[in-house]
Amino acid sequence: MAEIVSLAEGVGRLVHDGDVVALEGFTHLIPHAAGQEIIRQRRRDLTLVRMTPDIVYDQLIGAGCARKLIFSWGGNPGVGSLHRFRDAVQNGWPVPLEIEEHSHAGMANRYVAGASGLPFAVLRGYSGTDLPKHTDTIKQITCPFTGEQLAAVPALNPDVSIIHAQRADRAGNVQIWGLVGVQKEAVLAAKRSLVTVEEVVDELEPVPGQLVLPSWAVTCVAEVPHGAHPSYAQGYYDRDNAYYEHWDSIGRKRDSFEDWLREKVFDRTDSEVTGK
Amino acid sequence: MTATTEAQQTYTSDEMMSIAAARALGDGQRCFVGIGLPSTAANLARRTHAPDLVLIYESGTLGSKPDRLPASIGDGILAETADAVISVPEVFNYWLQPGRIDVGFLGAAQLDKFGNINTTVIGDDYANPKVRLPGAGGAPEIAASCREVFVVVRQSKRSFVDRVDFVTSVGHGSGKGDRERLGLRGAGPTLVITDLGILRPDPETSELVLSQLHEGVEVEQVREATGWDLKVSPDLSRTAPPSEAELATLRALKEAGK
């Protein structure tokens, strides 16, 4: 059964140096607060996994938490580049970043295989592209029934997956609705999981199109209101588009980024983080 | 009144590009939409001549009907106005991969004469790129599996190159017959819409040739903005300038999306 913990405790207990860590949320419900808590706890040598590394991964990479990134699209959606990510790839700052690059279809299927307890997934993908030349986790496979050539990609089984959801009940059952991305697969593929939620409630009132992760499929739940900001939580708050624009000016330079880190992340105390 | 009419009759080359791209989409088609220029064009088409155009976004929405331009592919308005909201694995596995989508509408950082797309790195050395771009996203499989692909991109020597530095998404490979050889089931790029005109693959060679010029643009101008020796179709035609209705709708969509 999922245990209800504070954000600091959840990250402290579940995320270790050197872990393979996935923070998922496809444009919606991105676990920003949890990402910043990983930075604040100064985790190192992480292999970060995410289909769409956007500003939360720019922050983790710029803070030097990651040694490797497994991804399929890295940018500031609707704005432009991730400058910390680019600085790490092009200049090795603050630490070199190894990359393992896929397409969305490949990444989605890697999570599906991980969640399904399979060693790999099969898809029609990558054929003719330059990706297999640089990514050794893309192979060709022959269909044993038709002889067709298909792509194979290995399962992703993160040490810990972290997602943000709208609600959980006191038993730790998690309720998500709206764009659900690849979050269910990420949680089910992982050895451990942390779900941050907008609120913990007595009873989960049904919502059309909802997805429920039962308490026994989740390791820890932490109540973190606004934990997806500047992305959004349908039913709670809208996307803060201005912040995404604003991030461009913070992330662009090393010193403005370091000022941000100090002010908004490291100078925060445990009690500020948990809001208690 | 005069002032309004005049304002609507002057337009930018970007507006012409979005409008030309919108016109290419047929009513009732199912269109996989990338963000940015493709999304602008697809939403414009739905608001003008193609009200039953089905917009599919990789964030997991089938049949989105936004009344303003979405800020990103995950803008809440896409989910709230969709016929169905689905998971990302489902988008790619159940809807895209089997060939259920008519048109894949893509942008590009670099495009070559066979319509191959690069959104990964600029420079020859993948490990030490001159510029690190966002990467593939959904594009490789969109380019492979949609029945056809439209690319919308601003034309310049930097973006229109002889060979892309990195093939992120396959157009026509190195020429006619390559898609079949690679097992790609869709027809690949059939239209490339730019701010200067429209290019189409030559039926014999699959090389992109200039087939249409926007109003006020000359062939030489397009050649100058192309990094290969651009061929011109013998049937070169002119794009009709934007109608007042097209311009007004485009501007209203953009204004509402601010």
Fold of A3-102+157-271: Glutaconate Coenzyme A-transferase (3.40.1080)
Q: Give the SS3 label for residue A211.
A: strand
Spell out which residues of chain A touch residue B178, defining contact as CB-CB under 8 Å: 128
| pLDDT (tens digit per residue) in A82-93 | 999 999 998 999
Closest CA to B178 of A147, A142, A129: A129
Q: How far is CA A129 from CA A49, A255, B117, B158, in A?
A: 22, 37, 9, 21
Spell out which residues of chain B touch residue A28, defining contact as CB-CB under 8 Å: 59, 74, 76, 79
Q: How far, in Å, CA of B134 to CA of A156, rounded?
A: 21
Residue A94 contacts B, CB cutoff 8 Å:
no
Give contacts of B 47-66 with A, CB under 8 A.
58-61
Beta strands in A124-203 (DSSP E): 139-142, 149-154, 160-169, 174-176, 192-201
Give the pLDDT of chain B (258 residues) as one tens digit per residue. Answer: 333 444 446 999 999 999 999 999 999 999 999 878 899 999 999 999 999 999 999 999 999 999 898 877 778 889 999 999 999 999 999 999 999 999 999 999 999 999 999 999 999 999 888 998 999 999 999 999 999 999 999 999 999 999 999 999 999 999 999 999 999 999 999 999 999 999 999 999 999 999 999 999 999 999 999 999 999 999 999 999 999 999 999 999 988 877
Residue A111 contacts B, CB cutoff 8 Å:
yes
Instruction: Inspect the interface and report whether the beta carbons of B89 and A27 lie closer than 8 Å.
Output: no
Residue A164 contacts B, CB cutoff 8 Å:
no
Residue B89 contacts A, CB cutoff 8 Å:
yes
> The complex's ipTM?
0.94
Looking at chain A, which residues constitute the CATH 3.40.1080.10 domain(s)? 3-102+157-271
DSSP conformation class of A264: I
Determine if residue A9 is left, alpha or beta; phi over 0 gives left, psi from -120 to 50 gives alpha, anything else beta: alpha
Residue B203 contacts A, CB cutoff 8 Å:
no
The reported pLDDT for the residue numbered A271 is 66
Q: How far, in Å, CA of A82 to CA of A100, rounded?
A: 17
Residue A135 contacts B, CB cutoff 8 Å:
no
Instruction: Inspect the interface and report whether the beta carbons of A180 and B60 lie closer than 8 Å.
Output: yes
Residue from the list A105, A209, A238 with its beta carbon closest to the beta carbon of B76: A238
Query: What are the boundaries of each domain within chain B?
Result: 2-256
Give contacts of B 214-233 with A, CB under 8 A.
none
Q: How far, in Å, CA of B200 to CA of B115, rounded?
A: 9
Residue in chain B closest to A148 (alpha carbons) equals B183
Beta strands in A91-191 (DSSP E): 98-101, 120-123, 139-142, 149-154, 160-169, 174-176
Closest CA to A69 of A42, A94, A48, A83: A48
CATH code assigned to B2-256: 3.40.1080.10
> Is position B58 annotated as part of the catalytic site?
yes
